[in-house]
A and B are shown apart, each in its own frame.
Chain A
Amino acid sequence: AQRVTQPEKLLSVFKGAPVELKCNYSYSGSPELFWYVQYSRQRLQLLLRHISRESIKGFTADLNKGETSFHLKKPFAQEEDSAMYYCVLHGSARQLTFGSGTQLTVLP
């Protein structure tokens, strides 16, 4: 079975502060992990995936297989980063598992 846990339902930080959204997964094989984001009144969209190892909008995420984590980080949060973030696992063939999401609010 595959499972994704996002322990924080709500997270608030001040503009310019670092932000880390936690994601832990449970899967016995080699997972593919993604972060999807939904801004207010917009559709769910891909933010980044672990295999591309790139920084998108200043966000990075490193897959840590030892800790089974894929935390999303940004050194300096901006107000436009306020959104709902979902950690997503593609493990067994033909299944995608979403976490329950973290609502990030960046305060001015």
Chain B
Amino acid sequence: ETGVTQSPTHLIKTRGQQVTLRCSSQSGHNTVSWYQQALGQGPQFIFQYYREEENGRGNFPPRFSGLQFPNYSSELNVNALELDDSALYLCASNAGGGLDNEQFFGPGTRLTVL
């Protein structure tokens, strides 16, 4: 059984650019969630995908969007990057379609926006 993986590990972009982050769910999991963790803060829920549909969203603007694929892997896309988007982006998967199930986290992608 493999755990949650994320790519890339680190990324540097400039303001106004677009970025795509990737996540592979743990084997057997059909639900994926994305979180933004700024330095010194707890993770903030961005959104969740269940069976390829968005199934919940936090307080993030529409320029944060996502996709889930038939194999349950996922992408987080951020358009028109801002300096405040610099953060660690975490992906978590679980089995069952809900946020009340145990979340299994990946190692994160560190995004720096210059």
Contacts and interface: CB of A to CB of B under 8 A. Distances in A.
Contacts, number: 49
Q: Bin the interface of chain A by size.
A: 20 to 34
A97 B41 CA distance: 12
Contacts of B8: none
Given A32-B100, A46-B102, A90-B100, A96 B33 contact: yes
Given A90-B100, A94-B48, A95-B99, A45 B105 contact: yes
B55 interface: yes
B44 to A, nearest CB: 7
Contacts of B106: 43
Interface string B1-45: 001100000000000000000000000000001010000111111
A59 interface: no
Interface stretch (A60-68, A72-80, A98-106): A98-106
A44 B41 contact: no
B57 interface: yes
B109 to A, nearest CB: 13
A43 B100 contact: no
B42 A96 contact: no
A50 B58 CA distance: 23
A96 B99 contact: yes
B96 interface: no
B76 interface: no
B65 interface: no
B21 to A, nearest CB: 16
B42 A86 contact: yes
Contacts of A101: 41-42
6 contacts: A36-B103, A46-B102, A49-B102, A95-B99, A97-B45, A99-B42
Interface of A: 4, 6, 32, 36, 43-46, 49, 86, 90, 93-101
Given A44-B90, A90-B99, 12 more contacts: A43-B105, A43-B106, A44-B43, A44-B92, A94-B56, A94-B57, A95-B45, A95-B99, A96-B103, A98-B35, A98-B44, A100-B41
